[in-house]
Structure 1
């Protein structure tokens, strides 16, 4: 497969050693969509103009999810806000990215049933140990957060995405909280895709809460 993307890095960080997703949905879905936009921006394919996402170079990158996202943005006649695209692109991204990691031999797929009834699919490491690519990602992020020098754009983007989806406490577990907070805020400042990711997650959570509250109210009214 093509070189690992920020979406692959985010999935590896979000899954625990047992192959279970720590984040859940929609956080992971939106985080991955945000990762695609960041990657395309770093590759010089998209940019934000007047608060709307614009394609500045339609040339394919050479990676399936990235090229599909780029083509979709380019084909849209109406320019949309980054957070709108994050919601639109989320879809089945977790499955696509996980399939790529399984194909690459980084993870393996295990399917079983909980209580012999409920189907479950897990994605543990193919070797039983933390994948080397994940260890390298964690090392770079730890160096970025504990240091005070310049950090490469991809690592800065990943730190911002991890913070946006609420995974920073797990990733930086064991490090001084005040240092992590200050440095992650410093690195994430000004990242439009990161801000859009966080906003999309918040909007979805509010919508889900509203829907759940409305459903509960209907049930209570019906019972009464």
Structure 2
């Protein structure tokens, strides 16, 4: 399993009562992919830009797809720009992949909903490994999950004192920070649209 798949399962298992936003999760999944590509030596990070590292992607279809989408020639792409480009509908792609792998099943109940049906994790070794990473407080998974509101007042009794965990690697830290920035930017866009919609409605209602 990859960090992105572990993140998806963690979001379902330990997400807040309100569903995790698909846009937020998609950005975090793109960041998780980049973290694994950095770890595999397939890419490196210079300042805030992604540079091919020469090593092949890990043996995972979605990671290989992510690597193929990276810009191979200068100018190098900014991490945040790539998160937005790669993150488009990425949560749906991971849902499909995990269903195909037998890691998810469709039900009429669950924490995350993508359409009229809901999906839930199946009790598999992969799900238990994801749970183990979470329980151990693995810094990268915890940091990415916190970007989408998982583990932040979710009521699961898991206290994580001491602030945001340190992923340790400088490149990974830059990626995780970019994910948090992108999610905050997405929330700002949502709020602006809500305000604009309310203002438009008030104009039509009149004094």
**Same structural fold, with TM-score higher than 0.5 when normalized by the shorter chain:** yes
Relative to the length of structure 2, the TM-score reads: 0.82
Q: Which residue of 2 aligns with 1:158?
A: 141
Write out per-residue CA displacement over residues 5-27 of structure 1, whole angstroms, 9 at most, x where no aligned residue.
1111111111149xx98312321
Aligned residues: 196
- After TM superposition, give the deviation of residue 85 of structure 1 in Å: 1.1
- CA distance in 1: counterparts of 2:6 and 2:90, whole angstroms: 13
1:124 equivalent in alignment to 2:107: no
Corresponding residue SS for 1:124: strand
Rate the CA distance shift 1:94–1:165 in 2: closer, same or farther, 3 A: same
- Counterpart in the other structure of 2:177: 195
The structure, 1 or 2, with the larger RCO (C-alpha pairs under 8 Å, 6+ apart) is 2
- Give yes or no for the alignment of 1:169 onto 2:166: no
Matches of 1:16 and 1:50, distance apart in 2 = 34
Report the CA distance shift for 1:82/1:165 in structure 2 as closer, same or farther (over 3 A): same
C-alpha distance 194-162 of structure 1, shift in aligned 2 (>3 A): same
| CA deviation profile, 1:189-215 (whole Å, cap 9, x unmatched) | 651111011000001111121122112
2:132 aligns with one of 127, 139, 142? 139
Q: CA deviation at 1:111?
A: 7.2
CA distance in structure 2 between the aligned counterparts of 1:186 and 1:25, rounded to whole angstroms: 24
Change in Cα spacing, 1:141 to 1:60, as seen in structure 2 (3 Å) is: closer
Distance 1:58 1:70, change over 3 A: farther
> Which residue of structure 2 aligns with residue 48 of structure 1?
45
Query: Alpha-carbon deviation of 1:89?
Result: 0.7
Superposed, which structure 2 residues align to 1:56-67 within 5 Å? Answer: 56-57=53-54, 59-67=56-64
Take 2:107 and 2:155, find their aligned partners in 1: how far apart are those partners? 28
1:116 corresponds to which residue?
A: none
- Structure 1: unaligned runs, 5 residues or longer: 113-118, 146-154
Q: Secondary structure at the match of 1:47?
A: strand
Go from structure 1 to structure 2 and tell me whether the alpha carbon gap of 1:58 and 1:221 turns closer, same or farther (over 3 Å shift).
farther
Q: TM-score, normalised by structure 1?
A: 0.76
In the alignment, is residue 185 of structure 1 matched against residue 142 of structure 2? no
Give me the whole-angstrom Cα distance separating, in 1, the residues matched to 2:38 and 2:50: 10
- CA RMSD across the alignment: 2.7
Supply the distance in 1 between the matched residues of 2:128 and 2:61 (Cα, whole angstroms): 24
